[in-house]
Chain A
Amino acid sequence: MVELVNRPYATAFEAHALANPDVLCLSADLTSSCEIDGFRDRHPDRFLSMGMAEQNMLSFAGGLGLAGYRPFLHSFGVFLYRRPYDQLMASIAYPRRKVRLMGFLPGITTPGGMTHQAIEDISVMRAIPNMTVLETGDATEVESICAAADAVDGPVYCRVLRGAVPRLFDTPLRLGEMRVLAAGSDVLVVTAGITTEEAIRARAAFDRAGVSVRHLHLSTLKPFDAAAIVAHAAACRYGVVTLENHLVAGGIGSMVAEALAEAGLARRLIRLGLQDTYAHGGSRAYLMGYYGMDAMALVRAVERLTGLQTGIDEAALGAVRLEAVHSVLKAEAL
């Protein structure tokens, strides 16, 4: 059974900050929501409460960068770029400040609805020159993201999972390295973040149905290793399915499409994720089903791509569903 790790970020950030005296902890009134309340209480001299004022927080962080500090900014991902976009550009991205933007509740992992759901953050962030974009898909990646992000000579935006996070991997997140989770030859499946767990569930069913899947998990979204994607796609005869917790426009689906097109590699591509739509408030499982971002959606996409009828249905997926793991999870609260 998959292990669930409780609040992996809290422990990991504290350890990283204590080992790195120039790391500072900034929060915009979401301190416990971003799991840094313990750090605030134990290390108040390293913690800056910036209030509900993200525009100032970003430019202020740029100033801290000028003083040689490496501020970690904590908020929900959506609040780190939508309102303070100008400050992100002028005070952080352009001058390559070593500011670490720790964006919690990526995509539909919050029931907070449109205002709280960062569904275009990858698209926005990867378009920004000098920006590095990382995404965590399990507890091990959450535990290793502080060190990985802090090694970057420039600004970094991270999609961070919180709360009870499953442990899927036993090696840390390494900058620029994708994980090859299965090495099949029929269909290439590319996932990141919470969609990787969905694909793992579907893979067991694909194995039984005789579909050979090659599965890549991305944690470095920018810089994007287009050459590796193309090589993997070339090794899969039917084509590629991307599955992301994000709009398909500008996200991983777009990155893969660009890579295939620029390489001149003719492979069909199905992009799963939010299809030019906002989401609304609801549980993660409900939203992933409603918007076609779950294991079942992946099965249907693979069937469309291959023309095969796998016979996989909800019951078949249920056989490998990590129900026992998820039954302890509540809908994410604010």
Chain B
Amino acid sequence: MPHPLPNARSTEDVALGIRRRVFEHVIRNNGGYLSQACSAAEQLAFLYNEALTLGPPTLPMIPQPFGGVPSAGNPDYVTGAGYNGPFAPHYDRLFIAPAHYALVAYACLIEVGRMAPEGLEMFNQDGSSVEMIGAEHSPGMEVHNGTLGIGFSTAAGLAWGRKRRGDSGQVCVFMSDGEVQEGQTWEAVQAAAHHGIDNLWALMDVNRQQCDGAMESVMTVGDIATKLRDFGAVVAEIDAHDLGALRQAKAEPHPGKPLIILAHSSPTQGMETLRPRLPRLHYVRFKSDAERDATNAGIAAELGIAPITLGDH
């Protein structure tokens, strides 16, 4: 099955599709990472639909079952990077640093024609490679980033190596703002700047949310842009839901330095029905059928679709 050319659909349309898919999944499964679709839909749609240079997927549209972990005795092991296309010098590479966004990333793969819709039905099912917290073998993933804070370091190492090899492809990291609480993030940014790694850029979803709630109540991080600049990065700050601004930020020159785009987002964008849940949005749960029904009806109306029909749950 050939995958659609980039821009066969508008990025706005892909973003709406991501929200609708994640919404349907969360309603059907009585909970999930829904807010991440609100904040990040435009960002992931932008990456896959226009910003990244990626080849056609190399793995089956319907993901294979879990094939075992890497070991000397598992020669057929592959990562999920094949959904982003083949490794070639001119292609970009993408790391989804907050692996908890996996559901949103999978929905994006479907929307851009890199994975079949059946893939999402395998989400978090025993024996499936489509894991809840994106694993190396999960579609679109290349490394484990589930502990948060290690993605940018990995990308910096790969980018340094690709630059040394003369690859024209860049390395991109989709990051979350909560990761700036991890010391490793700062180690990575200073190292990327020190070594002049400028074939590296990051898009950070600044939604000001983390597992325990609002970041400012969990751990104040100060002004992220100023700190990143002080550590040596070129920083652009934009509205995460403004695709024109995303395009402009990506074009920011950053010779000798990594570029980090701070995409200020709303954790309820497109689903304002969720707003009363603030500040607990990391994982949306429904305490009762009535609550689920109300959320179903409210968000469906916002997304311009009929409420999700539920079976015997």
Residues of A within 8 A of B (CB): 48-51, 53, 55-56, 58-69, 86-87, 90-91, 94-96, 129-130, 153-154
The interface residues of chain A lying within 8 Å CB-to-CB of B24 are none
Contact (Cβ within 8 A) A66 B72: no
Closest to B69 in A: A94
Contact (Cβ within 8 A) A91 B71: no
Contact (Cβ within 8 A) A53 B190: yes
The interface residues of chain A lying within 8 Å CB-to-CB of B195 are 48
The interface residues of chain B lying within 8 Å CB-to-CB of A91 are 143-144, 150, 153-154
Known A90-B144, A130-B71; judge A50-B153 contact (CB<8 A).
no
Contact (Cβ within 8 A) B72 A154: yes
B187 interface hit (Cβ, 8 Å): yes
The interface residues of chain B lying within 8 Å CB-to-CB of A86 are 147, 150
Contact (Cβ within 8 A) A90 B184: no
The interface residues of chain A lying within 8 Å CB-to-CB of B228 are none
Q: Which of B143, B155, B157, B160 is the one whose CB lies under 8 Å from A90? A: B143
Instruction: A303 to B113: give the CA distance in the assembly, Å.
Output: 74
Known A64-B161, A66-B157; judge A55-B143 contact (CB<8 A).
no
Contact (Cβ within 8 A) A130 B153: no
Contact (Cβ within 8 A) A68 B161: yes
Interface size on B, residues (CB 8 A): 33
Known contacts A59-B154, A67-B158, A91-B143, then 5 further A-B pairs from the complex at CB < 8 Å, ordered by chain A residue: A49-B194, A59-B188, A61-B157, A96-B70, A96-B71
The interface residues of chain A lying within 8 Å CB-to-CB of B194 are 49, 51
Contact (Cβ within 8 A) B142 A66: yes
Q: Which of B72, B150, B160 is the one whose CB lies under 8 Å from A64? A: B160
Contact (Cβ within 8 A) B158 A59: no
The interface residues of chain A lying within 8 Å CB-to-CB of B79 are 95
Instruction: A227 to B150: give the CA distance in the assembly, Å.
Output: 39
Contact (Cβ within 8 A) A60 B156: yes
Instruction: A153 to B71: give the CA distance in the assembly, Å.
Output: 10
Contact (Cβ within 8 A) A51 B191: yes
Instruction: A87 to B154: give the CA distance in the assembly, Å.
Output: 10
Interface string of B187-201 (1 = CB under 8 A from A): 110110011000000
Q: Which 8 A-B pairs have the closest CB atoms?
A: A63-B157, A67-B161, A59-B153, A56-B187, A60-B157, A53-B187, A63-B158, A55-B184
The interface residues of chain B lying within 8 Å CB-to-CB of A153 are 72
Interface residues of B in 126-185 (CB under 8 A from A): 136, 142-147, 150, 153-162, 164-165, 183-184
Contact (Cβ within 8 A) A90 B187: no
Residues of B within 8 A of A (CB): 69-72, 79, 136, 142-147, 150, 153-162, 164-165, 183-184, 187-188, 190-191, 194-195
Closest to B195 in A: A48
Known A60-B191, A130-B70; judge A94-B144 contact (CB<8 A).
yes
Within the complex, the shortest CB–CB distance from A75 to chain B, in Å, comes to: 14
Known A60-B153, A86-B147, A86-B150; judge A66-B158 contact (CB<8 A).
yes
Contact (Cβ within 8 A) A95 B70: yes
Closest to A153 in B: B72
Closest to B160 in A: A64
Contact (Cβ within 8 A) A55 B69: no
Closest to A87 in B: B150
Instruction: A53 to B185: give the CA distance in the assembly, Å.
Output: 11
Contact (Cβ within 8 A) B188 A56: yes
Contact (Cβ within 8 A) A63 B191: no
Contact (Cβ within 8 A) B154 A62: yes
Q: Which of A59, A65, A68, A129 is the one whose CB lies under 8 Å from B165? A: A68
Contact (Cβ within 8 A) B184 A87: yes
Contact (Cβ within 8 A) B191 A53: yes
Instruction: A90 to B148: give the CA distance in the assembly, Å.
Output: 11
Instruction: A105 to B184: give the CA distance in the assembly, Å.
Output: 25
Q: List 11 A-B contacts (CB under 8 A).
A: A55-B184, A60-B188, A61-B157, A64-B161, A66-B157, A67-B157, A67-B160, A68-B165, A86-B147, A91-B144, A130-B70
Contact (Cβ within 8 A) B190 A63: no
Instruction: A213 to B191: give the CA distance in the assembly, Å.
Output: 53
Within the complex, the shortest CB–CB distance from B15 to chain A, in Å, comes to: 29
Instruction: A49 to B196: give the CA distance in the assembly, Å.
Output: 12
Within the complex, the shortest CB–CB distance from A244 to chain B, in Å, comes to: 26
The interface residues of chain A lying within 8 Å CB-to-CB of B72 are 96, 130, 153-154
Within the complex, the shortest CB–CB distance from A64 to chain B, in Å, comes to: 4
Known A63-B160, A67-B157; judge A56-B143 contact (CB<8 A).
no
Instruction: A68 to B190: give the CA distance in the assembly, Å.
Output: 23
The interface residues of chain A lying within 8 Å CB-to-CB of B188 are 56, 59-60
Contact (Cβ within 8 A) B158 A90: no
The interface residues of chain A lying within 8 Å CB-to-CB of B144 are 90-91, 94-95
The interface residues of chain A lying within 8 Å CB-to-CB of B153 are 55-56, 58-60, 62-63, 87, 91
